[in-house]
């Protein structure tokens, strides 16, 4: 028994000694891992690295821990990092690193670990791609790159990977290849926003050739928070993998006021090949300027499948002005979608959710159901529906008049043409009459309003389906362009809707003279009674 006890004690002592030696040995850690031991943040200080040796180019660099997280490359300009890893994960350390100093050549990717809490790492030094490169921001990770991204030769692709966010803050990025957004969010936050192909911008220079300036999506989001801008770059919605369902999301969250994001290429999106799965193009953000796609949105596949659908998300505004041919659904879930192009070939159903708005002066090819707001035209204008239009209970129809006239349908007042299918108006639909819109000259005191008037609003190919003879259950009348109230200025007058043949008209009715006389007598009688009461 004593011999056993002695043997066990010897083994425990030997094990403890080995553990103690291992804890002291630099070989227990990965080489070229930052530990900030020198305390000065300089890359050429040996004690800042776990093996107390300045890393020799080219090599992998790993930054981890909470010590001396602001670092400076003062080893040499053009130093080559074969990869850069940010290793904090919210448990081992919660700090973000800043990499500053001389430019480096990047021979591999930039990656982060997943984190249990939000961590932001910042790269202010300039980066030179030596090949196609990816920046992988994992969950809860943000990488800000304010240094300029260039390339050594050839055409280099920049890929945003991972579920986190990469923010580009340099308008002088000059890499020549495509920008690929595989996952998460790629944010442009720099004056100048997104420029044309062949011009330096946050998304590189690309080239004047469409293919090398392409913005390719495989499910991620392009988010613009500053600069916006116009670009002739094309988009690929989803990867070339036939069964991949990843779509594309484009958001403009720039401050409102002359900062629209506009895609001007005549062919907005390019073919992704023989695609068999459907993809969604989501247009969002909070910016309410004239964000627009003027080119054609198509199903962009050569395999006969994989429809493209369009979703309007966010509180901002987007304008579609191309002759679109995509055949998936259009869903206006929030904000304002303006359809100005001829979308008669875009035959998928269009729905407008409660609180969202559809407007524009184009043609909509799909069967349309509105549960939100319909404001046809562009203050004003005519919108055409080639496959039916239905207003659900709770919907609102907005009609504008900008003068004291009944002529000029589409220029002076709004019109709706239902050239195919049926116009259906259910109960519980509200009509807002707007007379004080931008540029309006409507004046209740004008002689025009002294007589009855009629406007053709809904021109229908077939008889409409109306749940009520009144057409709309509620009519709200705005002030005129001078701020005058209708019920005060034109007391006794009213607006109503009526059907003649297939069409629906808005009517303005002035009381008959006898009615005016009765109103005057009633007013006089009321005055006399008041006087008698006062005498008593």
Number of domains in the chain: 1
Residue 170 has, within 13 A of its CA and on its CB side, a CA count of 20
On whether residue 208 sits in a domain, the answer given is: no
Contacts of 71 (CB under 8 A, 6+ apart): 34, 41, 42, 43, 48, 63, 97, 98, 99, 100, 101
Q: Could you tell me if residue 86 is inside a domain?
A: no
Place of tokens 């109306």: 466
User: In this structure, are residues 235 and 268 in contact, taking their beta carbons and an 8 Å threshold?
Assistant: yes
Distance CA 296, CA 299 (A): 10
- Characterize 306-336 residue by residue with b for buried, 16 or more Cβ atoms within 10 angstroms of its Cβ, and e for exposed: bbbbbbbbbebbbbbbbbbbbbbbbbbbbbb
What is the reported pLDDT for 18?
A: 34
Strand 453-460 with 503-509, pairing = antiparallel
Instruction: Say if 507 falls within a structural domain.
Output: yes
**pLDDT score for 329:** 97
Residues of the domain holding 503: 349-536
Any alpha helices (H) in 127-264, and if so which ranges? none
Please report the pLDDT score of residue 277 as a whole number: 87
CA 127 to chain centre: 29
Judge contact between 216 and 198, C-beta under 8 A. Answer: no
User: How crowded is residue 497: how many other Cβ atoms within 10 Å of its Cβ?
Assistant: 21
Q: Specify whether the CB–CB gap between 107 and 130 falls below 8 A.
A: yes
Supply the pLDDT for residue 26. 34
> What pLDDT is recorded for position 1?
35
The DSSP bridge partners found for residue 516 are: none
Is 311 a member of any domain? no
- The strand ranges marked E within 146-201 are 149-151, 158-161, 165-168, 179-181, 185-189
- CA gap 383, 417 in Å, rounded: 6
- 3-state class (DSSP) for residue 116: coil
Q: What is the pLDDT of residue 173?
A: 96
Per-residue pLDDT, 276: 84
Contact between 328 and 351 (Cβ < 8 Å): no
CA distances from 506 to 297, 449, 462, 499, 531 (A): 36, 14, 18, 9, 42
pTM (whole model) above 0.85: yes
pLDDT along the chain (536 residues), means of 10: 35 34 38 94 97 95 97 96 97 96 97 97 97 97 98 92 97 95 96 89 86 91 90 92 87 92 95 86 97 94 80 98 96 98 97 98 98 96 98 98 98 98 98 97 98 98 97 98 98 98 98 60 45 38
Q: What is the pLDDT of residue 111?
A: 98
> Does residue 390 fall inside a structural domain?
yes
Residue 498 forms part of a structural domain: yes
**CA 115 to each of CA 36, 144, 181: distance values in angstroms, whole numbers, following the listed order:** 21, 16, 21
Residue 425 lies in a domain: yes
Instruction: Say what the pLDDT of residue 304 is.
Output: 67
Query: Among 123, 261, 128, which residue's Cα sits nearest to residue 192?
Result: 261
pLDDT of residue 244: 80
CB distance 448 to 404 below 8 Å: yes
CA 502-503-509 angle, to 5 degrees, is 135
How far lies 34's CA from each of 21, 29, 117, in Å? 21, 10, 21
Question: Is 283:312 a contact under the CB 8 Å cutoff?
Answer: yes
Instruction: Tell me if the bond preceding 439 is cis, omega within 30° of 0.
Output: no
Q: What pLDDT score was predicted for residue 93?
A: 95
DSSP assignment letter at 448: G
Residue 198 lies in a domain: no
């Amino acid at each position: 028994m004593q011999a056993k006890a002695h043997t066990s004690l010897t083994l425990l002592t030997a094990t403890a000694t080995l553990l103690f030696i291992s804890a002291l040995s630099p070989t227990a850690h990965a080489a070229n891992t930052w530990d900030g031991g020198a305390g000065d943040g300089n890359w050429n200080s040996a004690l800042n690295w776990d093996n107390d040796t300045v890393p020799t180019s080219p090599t992998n660099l790993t930054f981890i821990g909470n010590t001396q997280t602001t670092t400076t490359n003062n080893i040499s300009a053009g130093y080559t990092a074969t990869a850069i890893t940010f290793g904090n994960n919210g448990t081992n350390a919660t700090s973000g690193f800043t990499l500053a100093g001389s430019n480096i050549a990047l021979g591999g990717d930039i990656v982060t670990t997943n984190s249990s809490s939000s961590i932001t790492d910042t790269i202010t030094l300039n980066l030179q791609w030596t090949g196609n490169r990816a920046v992988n921001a994992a969950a809860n990770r943000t990488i800000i790159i304010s240094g300029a991204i260039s390339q050594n030769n050839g055409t280099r692709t920049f890929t945003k990977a991972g579920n986190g966010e990469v923010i580009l803050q340099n308008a002088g990025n000059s890499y020549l290849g495509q920008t690929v957004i595989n996952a998460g969010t790629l944010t442009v936050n720099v004056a100048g926003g997104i420029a044309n192909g062949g011009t330096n911008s946050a998304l590189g220079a690309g080239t004047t050739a469409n293919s090398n300036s392409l913005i390719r999506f495989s499910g991620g989001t392009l988010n613009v928070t500053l600069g916006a801008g116009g670009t002739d770059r094309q988009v690929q919605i989803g990867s070339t993998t036939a069964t991949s369902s990843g779509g594309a999301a484009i958001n403009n969250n720039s401050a409102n006021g002359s900062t629209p994001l506009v895609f001007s290429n005549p062919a907005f999106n390019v073919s992704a090949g023989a695609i068999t799965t459907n993809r969604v193009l989501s247009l969002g953000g909070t910016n309410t300027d004239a964000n627009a796609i003027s080119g054609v949105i198509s199903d962009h596949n050569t395999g006969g499948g994989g429809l493209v659908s369009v979703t309007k998300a966010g509180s901002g505004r987007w304008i579609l002005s191309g002759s679109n041919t995509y055949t998936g659904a259009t869903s206006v879930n929030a904000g304002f979608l303006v359809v100005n192009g001829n979308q008669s070939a875009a035959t998928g159903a269009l729905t407008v959710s409660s609180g969202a708005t559809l407007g524009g002066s184009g043609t909509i090819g799909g069967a349309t159901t509105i549960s939100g707001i319909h404001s046809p035209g562009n203050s004003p204008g005519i919108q055409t529906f080639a496959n039916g239009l239905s207003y659900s209970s709770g919907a609102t129809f907005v009609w504008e008049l900008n003068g004291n006239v009944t002529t000029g349908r589409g220029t002076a007042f709004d019109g709706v043409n239902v050239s195919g299918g049926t116009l259906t108006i259910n109960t519980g639909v509200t009509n807002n009459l707007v007379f004080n819109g931008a540029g309006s000259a409507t004046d209740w005191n004008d002689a025009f309003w002294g007589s009855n008037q009629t406007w053709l609003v809904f021109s229908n190919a077939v008889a409409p389906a109306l749940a009520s003879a009144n057409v709309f259950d509620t009519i709200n009348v705005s002030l005129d362009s001078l701020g005058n109230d209708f019920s005060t200025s034109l007391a006794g007058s009213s607006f109503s809707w009526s059907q003649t043949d297939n069409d629906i008209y808005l009517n303005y009715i002035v009381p008959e003279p006898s009615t005016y006389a009765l109103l005057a007598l009633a007013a006089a009688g009321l005055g006399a009674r008041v006087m008698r009461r006062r005498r008593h």
